[in-house]
Structure 1
Amino acid sequence: MSATFGGRSGRRGKLSQWLLGRRPKETADDGGREALLLAAAAAGLPLAPAAHPAPGYRCSCDRVGCPTPARHPVSFAWQTQSTTDRGQIERWARHQPEANFITATGMVHDVLDVPVEAGREALERLLDSGVEVGPVAESDDGRMLFFTLTRGTPEDEDEWWPCELDCRPETMDEHPGLRWHCRGSYVLVPPARLPGDDGQQVRWVRGPEHALPDPLSLLEMLTDACARHVGSEAEHAGTAWPPRH
């Protein structure tokens, strides 16, 4: 498991490290990668194989000019393919050793996706306030992912809210920089590699052994932190989301 898993003292130590710009790189050989994926599945996160980086900032898929290289599922049936079955995930991991993996949101969990600066600030405040925070991942492309319970279940169909309504707010003042991944969306699950020659990754800050919280318990601090960092979000204004494959 990641070295950031475990008790509060170790967790806060790692948090202080990357706030000081000394964030350790998470490395995973094949065995470590598989263990991390199985831990995510054991926590109830449904997984499916995704594309991986290819030389020259390209994607392993055969799409010319892929708009989301190494960040999308390899199958159009990813929603039905996503699973927590240990045997299936072991087979995928061993037969596709370079593949990233996505987790489908809106089934068991949602993900609150914020700019990394806002996420770091909010995480510090949440932990200092004693709020129960679930798994948190950080991506080297400038995003932080807070994993939460979903707001709807297949048995409660009226509670579903399509992802586009969340991640495309009418005004940036309403939810500046926040994307809420729920039904019909997905995110990369650690460990994942991003395109480029500098070894960019998606890694756990808090591992999947932490219980998923109610998203509303995190939302106020996340939106407040995003509002303080709204200027930096202009850099992401042209990013297409959600990706279509």
Structure 2
Amino acid sequence: MSATFGGRTGRQGRISEWLRARRTARPLQEAADDGGREALLLATAAAGLPLAPAAHPSGYRCSCDRVGCPTPARHPVSFAWQTQSTTDRAQIERWARHQPQANFITATGMVHDVLDVPFAAGQEALRRLLAAGIEVGPVAESQSEADDGRLLFFTLTRGTPEDEDEWWPCALDCQPETMDEHPGLRWHCRGSYVLVPPARLPGDLAVSWVRGPEHPLPDPLSLLEILTDECSRHADEEPDDTDEAWPPRG
């Protein structure tokens, strides 16, 4: 584990400071303007997560100019995003330099899946996972104007078996367009995608790393019990400690 739970050391202190200021997207944009955007994208691809260009904000609208776009700045620009997704460094550099405002998505179900939970539930789950000494991989926060946002836990994929009859569906499987149907935990696997940091959203919001792509991808089942437990618990109670310092001082 990369940090001592409950302490004020290293990575945990940085996570705490970052989360307390999570509504301020400006530092992320400044880092992107200084060249950090391309470096973060290349680091994500180097970790094995395939990327493809996505839409970006245009004022309070989406750059796709679709009237009433249901997921502004959160969707791929090409219908061929699954085959277009790549970890090739040269291709990602070309995209990043030729499309300087573009967000990027990563296609799930190839190398990795994403367990996508409400922010409050994910915050407590991350605390519990670290306390239990369970290896946690990359984690990103996706901000939202409608609620507290989401935490995205990146894991190994559960696989794409050669025999399609062996593929087992899951009630948690979802695509970004079905977010209202999955208020708790969503499992992004084959056929789905999520935005990767750094990404800009309408309203000066962002998608940013809490734990970067340098962390190895864990088995999703090692996280699932605690994530589902916290999603169930937070669904039944009114959150009243969103602004408290996290993790708490010992």
- TM-score (normalizing by structure 1): 0.82
Change (3 A) 1:160 1:130: same
Does the residue aligned with 2:90 lie in a helix, a strand or coil? helix
Map of 2:50 onto structure 1: 46
Q: Which moved more, 1:210-219 or 1:9-18?
A: 9-18
Task: Answer yes or no: is the 8 Å Cα contact 2:114–2:155 preserved in 1.
Answer: yes
Q: Is the 8 A contact 2:18 2:210 kept in 1?
A: no
Counterparts of 1:30-41 in structure 2 under 5 Å?
31-41=35-45
2:188 maps to which of 181, 184, 187: 181
**Counterpart for residue 11 of structure 1:** 11
- What is the match of residue 3 of structure 1? none
Distance 1:164 1:60, change over 3 A: farther
What TM-score results when the alignment is normalised by the length of structure 2? Answer: 0.80
Give ranges in structure 2 of 5+ residues lacking alignment.
4-8, 176-181, 239-250
* 2:6 corresponding residue in structure 1: none
Q: 1:81 to 1:229 in 2, by over 3 A?
A: same
CA drift at 1:38: 0.3
Residue 119 and residue 159 in structure 1: after superposition, are their counterparts in 2 closer, same or farther (change >3 A)?
farther
1:152 and 2:159 matched: yes
| Structure 1 SS opposite 2:135 | coil
Matched, 1:194 2:198: no
Please say if residues 34 and 93 of structure 1, whose CA atoms lie closer than 8 Å, have aligned partners that are also in contact. yes
CA deviation vs aligned residue, 1:47-86 (integer Å, no higher than 9, x gap) = 000000011x100003111110000000000000000000
Q: What amino acid sits opposite 2:190 in the alignment?
A: R
Q: Which residue of 2 aligns with 1:79?
A: 82
Higher mean C-alpha displacement, 138-147 vs 158-167: 158-167
How many pairs does the alignment contain? 218
The share of aligned pairs that are identical, in percent, is 81
Q: Match for residue 241 of structure 2?
A: none
List runs of 5+ in structure 1 lacking aligned partners.
Answer: 1-5, 169-174, 234-245
CA-based RMSD of the aligned residues comes to: 2.3
CA change 1:68–1:231 in 2 (3 A) is farther
Return the letter of the residue paired with 2:194. Answer: V
Give the 3-state SS of the residue equivalent to 2:32 in structure 1: coil
Q: CA deviation at 1:154?
A: 5.5
Report what 2:134 is aligned to: 131
Match of 2:217 among 190, 212, 216: 212
Distance change (3 Å), C-alpha of 1:201 and 1:151: same
Question: Structure 1: which 4+ aligned runs deviate by more than 6 Å?
Answer: none
